[in-house]
Structure 1
Amino acid sequence: MSGRFDAIPEAAVRDGTATDAYFLRTEETLERADRNPTVVAEITRDQFPTGEFDLLAGVKDAARLLEDLPVDVDAIREGRLFDGGPVLRIEGEYLDFARYETSLLGFLSHQSAIATAALEARRAAPDASVLSFGARHVHPSLAGVVERGALLGGLDGFSHVAAGELLGREAGGTMPHALVIAFGDQETAWEAFDDAVAPEVPRIAIADTFSDEKDESLRAAATLGDALDGVRLDTTGSRRGDFRHIVREVRWELDARGREDVDIFVSGGLGPTELRELRDLVDGFGVGGYVSNADPLDFALDIVELDGEPVSKRGKLSGVKQAFRTPDGGHHVGLADRADPEGGDPLLEPLIRDGEIVREFDLDAATERAREDADAVGFREQA
């Protein structure tokens, strides 16, 4: 297996060689012993609720990985929030799915973390446009994962062209500092951009390349006139100082000249804290590393039933479980064969039956589910 870039090919994921070596040695050992037990395995992050919700993503890829295997799978739907207990459950003969554990956990762990971070950003600035600018922080082969997770978490768009082609969405973005530097002065660059790009592309001028943000914003407004839709402030951290004051100053000076119509967009090292601090002044945000670099969630897969009997390793809970959303927005975990909590909504639903996917995957529906569930559980609520 070789390639120009260090990207594991899809074929290796599909055939299960994108795995940890000990799973292949486990296969060899069980096969030599003619042992292949029927098991139930669950994927969990925490055993019990902790009060901290995360957003589930990556289920589509998990389903496609397990498709055509002789197993039954139940899972929480993408776009639902969870807090302890299983998010996905597999029932079948162990050797039919053992080698897929590594990739399965990777699909869920990485994209759930990205989607959760995106939802945090979305909730921090609910009335502003928030775009994902983080693809540059990850291996190019992961850009689609980043941007799909960003959309699922509720962000309004993203900047990566190839990810847009993969997801059937159009990438957004206007101009970098490099364009201004290439022309040598701001006015020439802004005018050239206005002359070159399609009319439907917003005219948002980068406004902090060679001089301060106020000066360049006013010059952009004078240069492009009514064609100017907005200015983007991407001030380097070493020059930023009191960023809120800078934004207020730009807004003041634009308004003083009758340019209330010019929106202000900001980017560069932003997370939920900065979005909350600036959201009353800013029309749009570009969020990068906070979303794309989110630490993967620590999921694990554990056998909880062996040949029909409850079993578990130390520190894990035996028996087949179900997770519920309670009417008060709580998360309840219990044994699947016991009474439901009163009014509880079971979260794990059929995903695969005897190798066939029995669920549709709609990104817009998952995004709406995330929004509704975040409201229901009070996700990361802050003033």
Structure 2
Amino acid sequence: MSTADLGLPVDVPSTALFTDRYELTMLQAALRSGAAHRRSVFETFTRRLPEGRRYGVVAGTGRVLDAVENFRFDRPVLDFLSRAGVVDDATLDYLADFRFTGDIWGYPEGEVYFPGSPILRVEGTFAEAVVLETVVLSILNHDSAIAAAASRMAVAAGGRPLMEMGARRTHELAAVAASRAAYIGGFRSSSNLAAGFRYGLPTIGTSAHAFTLLHDTEKDAFTAQVESLGRDTTLLVDTYDVATAVRTAVEVAGPELGSVRIDSGDLLLLAHRVRQQLDDLGAKDTRIVVTSDLDEYAIASLAAAPVDAYGVGTSLVTGSGHPTCSMVYKLVARSSSDDPDSPLVAVAKKSMGGKTSVGGRKWAARRLDAEGVAEAEVIGTGEVPADLVDRLLLVPLVRGGVVVGREPLDAARDRHVAARGGLPLSATQLSRGEPALPVEYR
């Protein structure tokens, strides 16, 4: 869901300068050579998954569509390019009227992917498609990394709620995108109000240690919070002594107390002790929330603990050690002339060091075994085999420059649950291993 879906006003600036300089200098040279208007196909893919990951998660597609729609070279942007001498006057004239009029296909948001998967396919003239490279990669690399980490944490949580609370651990704008990607990957809520405003995400939050330290006693702090927010609030119980705080919390709020939060110490031990203490005090329905630098491994280690929800910050918004997916944006086919009916010619990079690419406009499908479990990612060019036609993965996102692939954020979230559930069981192991599906080329 976007701000527009909520009926809320938002100033959407041009995304045209989310671009590396060489995109525009290539454009200038292509305009001069006459090749700029050749029909071209670019594809976004990754050559490998981060070490130890079994699958990737597509996230950021909705933000890419917004970026393409707002990729406009308005007067201030053109003036900057002119003053800085980035491109010549002929190129500035071209950019003044720039609108992407091509087609974009891609894996739908929330889908899983593997090395070589053509996650996004951009088709248009070279001039139209090449300038989108940087903004497309910056969005997909960031958001997909966060969503993949979120997905692993959701698996580790085993259905217990996850709350994203990492805004203070990353760039302020990246934090909003991270909240969105985390929601796709399985988190239920965010502490980030900008994410709530822009994307309609549920927001959470009550108090920090500073609130307790502000008051003369812990009881005064708890009383003020309960009187303000109600008995169903979450009281932070590790500012001083946890056992004393839990007893005080129940004394103030009664057995109707919503939750207590533990943010430090031996979380496994403390969760068991606090659960027993709450039960003994008659607060059997009071939930236990744990935070404190959690990642998927820490969450998995608490599987047997009486924990009701997890709050995750730093590890999530940094991709749990893998803040990018190493996606690239490569020209894979182009026509040999400006004639729109000119056939496409496959092209591919053949450089050393493993940075090669596979040429040709590709389709992708997921082959299932007899029990309906995915067994291979099949990628090919040309005719799609009959047995794979109903399992194609790429969907239309933009047709003739018009966005056709927008959808509610919950659709991407639900799709991810289904896609992950269709993988072999080994895909959800946190131990190191190979990608869950082999990739076959045809």
TM > 0.5 = yes
TM-aligned CA distance change 1:10 to 1:253, over 3 Å: same
Cα distance in 1 for residues equivalent to 2:13 and 2:216: 47
Instruction: Write out aligned runs for 1:40-189 (5 A).
Output: 40-46=41-47, 52-67=54-69, 68-84=99-115, 85-189=117-221
Query: After superposition, what is the alpha-carbon deviation per residue over 1:124-163, rounded to whole angstroms, capped at 9, x for unaligned?
Result: 1123121001111112222321111111111111111122
Question: Partner of 1:97: helix, strand, or coil?
Answer: helix
- 1:5 match: none
Cα distance in 2 for residues equivalent to 1:272 and 1:169: 22
Q: CA deviation at 1:215?
A: 2.4
Cα distance in 1 for residues equivalent to 2:163 and 2:13: 32
- 2:366 match: 325
TM-aligned CA distance change 1:162 to 1:202, over 3 Å: farther
Cα distance in 1 for residues equivalent to 2:60 and 2:376: 20
- 1:342 match: 387
Q: Which of 232, 237, 240 is equivalent to 1:202?
A: 232
Q: CA deviation at 1:48?
A: 10
Answer with 216-225 or 175-184: which moved more. Answer: 216-225
Contact 1:43 1:301 in 2 (8 A): yes
Contact 2:367 2:378 in 1 (8 A): no
Question: Partner of 1:118: helix, strand, or coil?
Answer: helix
TM-aligned CA distance change 1:131 to 1:341, over 3 Å: farther
The aligned amino acid for 1:231 is V
Q: CA deviation at 1:218?
A: 2.0
Q: CA deviation at 1:349?
A: 1.3
How many percent identity over aligned positions? Answer: 26
The aligned amino acid for 1:223 is V
- 2:253 match: 224
Answer with 364-373 or 93-102: which moved more. Answer: 93-102
Q: Which of 322, 330, 333 is equivalent to 1:305?
A: 333
Q: CA deviation at 1:10?
A: 5.3
Question: Partner of 1:91: helix, strand, or coil?
Answer: strand
Question: Partner of 1:188: helix, strand, or coil?
Answer: helix
Q: CA deviation at 1:58?
A: 0.8
Cα distance in 1 for residues equivalent to 2:119 and 2:126: 19
- Report the number of matched residues: 365
Question: Partner of 1:26: helix, strand, or coil?
Answer: helix
Q: CA deviation at 1:183?
A: 0.8
TM-aligned CA distance change 1:48 to 1:138, over 3 Å: closer
Query: Could you state the TM-score of these two structures normalised by the residue count of structure 1?
Result: 0.89
Q: CA deviation at 1:12?
A: 4.3
The aligned amino acid for 2:107 is I
Superposition RMSD in Å: 2.2
Q: CA deviation at 1:178?
A: 0.7
Q: CA deviation at 1:216?
A: 1.4
Q: CA deviation at 1:367?
A: 0.6
